[in-house]
């Protein structure tokens, strides 16, 4: 772009009437989106696949590791969020993230890689075939959802950058912009939000970088434009609005672990046997259900991931 970024042509200026009524437009848009999502849900998988093809995200593959459980309604997935960058209340993200700018957006990959790179988000979406992954999501607060994510296997991206033999961990960094992320104006957490995975966890086929859910682009409150999804770990491992991935040789710091090391470990694997010091992790409430259900080891993905932790004391490495 040759023009200065702050110069806006008249044609792009929002008419005052629209600006003044922006909230109504937003809510109209939200209502429309919900209506469409409801309609999409009513169709069979095949029909909604067609819908989605027309609505932005081209999905190349469906069904891998998919759970048959009832999916959490879009309305719940997009209004009940822990995303402290936009506020600590569950409905703060949906209330405050609407104007968050997710374009232009780049992801930098650096550190122990032979091919460090900065990738534009739209290039990234085009470069890898997108997959739908219907996963359980278990929050550390003992509630859970079932979410149809759209994303790319993290392993594919890591491999493309050709990690060196020193690459033992992947560190993730989230966006810092207090002007757009009001929650960052208070030091509730140590910004930027950072997370990390062991390299074998990061390249496990279950781990994805999500760019959408319910067949559409990721809503801002769910971590747009790019977030991590590691379904066998507690939700806080799923860092949102990722701007940087660094391959490193030692275990990187992670935000909640820094905040309370005795409560949130680096691994944060879902485990009904290992309680949070302040509450039990044995059960969870599935959003939309009354009775609590039993929490499953590795959130029900033990067959896929248990081997990653063979020989480890999961009580110590929680």
Partner 1 sequence: MTTLRSPTPPGAPKRLRPGKGPKLARLGKSAVFVACLLPLANLGLDALHSKLTANPIAEVMNRLGFWTLSFLVLTLAATPLKALFGWTFQMRVRRMVGLFAFFYAALHFTTYLALDQAFDLSDIGADIVKRKFITVGFAAFVLLIPLAVTSTDGAVKRLGFRRWKRIHRLVYVAAVLGVIHFVWRVKADLLQPALFGAALVFLFAVRLATSLKKRAAAVKSSSLTGEGAPPPGGGIPA
Interacting residues with partner 1 (CB under 8 A):
72, 75-76, 79-80, 84, 88, 90-91, 141, 143, 186, 188-189, 259-260, 278-280, 283, 285, 287-288, 290-292
Q: Which is nearer to partner 1, 184 or 246 (CB)?
A: 184
- Supply the minimum distance, in Å, between the C-beta of residue 121 and partner 1: 28
Q: Which is nearer to partner 1, 118 or 188 (CB)?
A: 188
Q: How far apart are CA 169 and CA 139, in angstroms?
A: 23
Q: How far apart are CA 155 and CA 201, in angstroms?
A: 9
Helix (H, G, I), strand (E, B) or coil at 190: coil
Helix (H, G, I), strand (E, B) or coil at 203: coil
- Supply the minimum distance, in Å, between the C-beta of residue 279 and partner 1: 6
Helix (H, G, I), strand (E, B) or coil at 35: helix
Q: Which is nearer to partner 1, 74 or 130 (CB)?
A: 74
Backbone angles phi, psi at 139, to 5 degrees: -80, 150
Where b means 16+ CB within 10 Å and e means fewer, 91-128 reads ebbbebbbebebeebebebebbbeeeeebebeebbeeb
- Supply the minimum distance, in Å, between the C-beta of residue 218 and partner 1: 18
- Quick check: 180 and 102 in contact, CB under 8 A? no
Direct distance between the N- and C-terminal alpha carbons of the chain, in angstroms, rounded to an integer: 47
- Supply the minimum distance, in Å, between the C-beta of residue 65 and partner 1: 24
Query: What is the token pair recorded at 143?
Result: 């509630």
Q: Which is nearer to partner 1, 23 or 278 (CB)?
A: 278
Write the CA distances from 27 to 21, 33, 279, integer angstroms: 10, 10, 37
- Supply the minimum distance, in Å, between the C-beta of residue 144 and partner 1: 10
- Quick check: 172 and 245 in contact, CB under 8 A? yes
Query: What is the token pair recorded at 159?
Result: 């491999």
Q: Which is nearer to partner 1, 80 or 128 (CB)?
A: 80
Residue 98 DSSP label: T
- Quick check: 236 and 267 in contact, CB under 8 A? no
Q: Which is nearer to partner 1, 17 or 187 (CB)?
A: 187
Q: Which is nearer to partner 1, 42 or 291 (CB)?
A: 291
- Supply the minimum distance, in Å, between the C-beta of residue 76 and partner 1: 4
- Supply the minimum distance, in Å, between the C-beta of residue 141 and partner 1: 7
- Supply the minimum distance, in Å, between the C-beta of residue 81 and partner 1: 9
Q: Which is nearer to partner 1, 203 or 221 (CB)?
A: 221
Q: What residues contact residue 276 under an 8 Å CB cut-off, 6+ apart?
A: 140, 263
Task: Please state the length of the chain.
Answer: 318
Query: What is the token pair recorded at 19?
Result: 């600006």
């Amino acid at each position: 772009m040759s023009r200065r970024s702050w110069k806006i042509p008249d044609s792009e200026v929002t008419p005052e009437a629209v600006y003044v009524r922006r909230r109504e437009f937003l809510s109209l848009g939200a209502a429309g989106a919900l209506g469409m999502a409801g309609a999409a849900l009513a169709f069979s998988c095949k029909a909604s696949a067609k819908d989605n093809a027309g609505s932005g995200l081209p999905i190349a593959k469906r069904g891998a590791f998919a759970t048959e459980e009832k999916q959490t309604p879009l309305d719940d997935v997009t209004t009940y969020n822990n995303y402290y960058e936009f506020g600590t209340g569950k409905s703060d993200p949906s209330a405050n993230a609407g104007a968050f700018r997710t374009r232009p957006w780049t992801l930098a990959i650096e550190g122990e890689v032979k091919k460090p790179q900065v990738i534009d988000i739209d290039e990234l979406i085009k470069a890898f075939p997108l997959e739908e992954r219907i996963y359980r999501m278990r929050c550390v607060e003992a509630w859970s959802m079932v979410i149809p994510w759209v994303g790319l296997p993290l392993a594919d991206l890591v491999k493309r950058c050709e990690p060196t033999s020193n690459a033992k961990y992947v560190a993730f960094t989230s966006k810092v912009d207090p002007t757009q992320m009001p929650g960052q104006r208070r030091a509730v957490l140590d910004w930027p939000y950072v997370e990390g995975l062991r390299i074998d966890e990061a390249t496990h086929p279950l781990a994805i970088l999500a760019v959408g859910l319910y067949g559409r682009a990721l809503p801002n409150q769910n971590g747009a434009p790019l977030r991590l999804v590691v379904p066998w770990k507690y939700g806080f491992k799923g860092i949102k609005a990722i701007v940087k991935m660094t391959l490193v040789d030692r275990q990187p710091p992670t935000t909640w672990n820094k905040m309370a090391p005795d409560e949130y470990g680096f691994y944060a694997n879902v485990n009904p046997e290992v309680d949070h010091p302040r509450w039990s992790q044995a059960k969870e409430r599935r959003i939309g259900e009354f009775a609590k259900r039993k929490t499953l080891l590795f959130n029900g993905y033990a067959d896929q991931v248990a081997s990653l932790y063979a020989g480890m004391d999961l009580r110590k490495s929680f």
